[in-house]
Amino acid sequence: MELNEKQIKKEILYNEEKLLRNEIRNDAKMITELTENNCIEISETGVQSIYQFGQTLKEIDGVLYITSDEPQLINLSEDCKLLIYIAVKVKKNTRSMINCSSIWKMKNEKWKAVFQQRTTR
């Protein structure tokens, strides 16, 4: 993997981790910085939401964190990437594995999420 690809992966993973934190999901300014207008999110329960600038994301019921050793970053185009990884959801001392994917698009020299999906394994 090229140095530039490693940097892109690192930046997208960093931003993805932010989107998994409820304190960020409740901050409309941060969500506007991290997501594109009309970003689609599908939760592990199958609920689909479309977000507009100025809105917040729905809270995740529990704590979700990336656990996979090697998340995959797939090149859809030069300015569009698909991130695939496994996360662990912790809720009331119960752990469950979640398959996650998101699509990130470069806009104004920043990577922004345009799609996120979580599926219980």
pLDDT digits (tens, 9 = 90+) for 68-85: 778 999 999 999 999 999
Tens of pLDDT along 27-77?
Answer: 999 999 999 999 999 999 899 999 999 999 999 988 999 987 789 999 999
Beta bridge partners of 111: 106
pLDDT band at 15 (very low <50, low <70, confident <90, very high): very high
Provide the total of helices (H) and of strands (E) in the chain, helices listed first: 3, 7
Please state, rounded to an integer, the average pLDDT across all residues of the chain. 93
Question: Rounded distance, CA 19 to CA 13, Å?
Answer: 10
pLDDT at 3 over 70: no
Nearest one of 55, 61, 53 to 27, comparing CA atoms: 55
Distance CA 68, CA 85 (A): 6
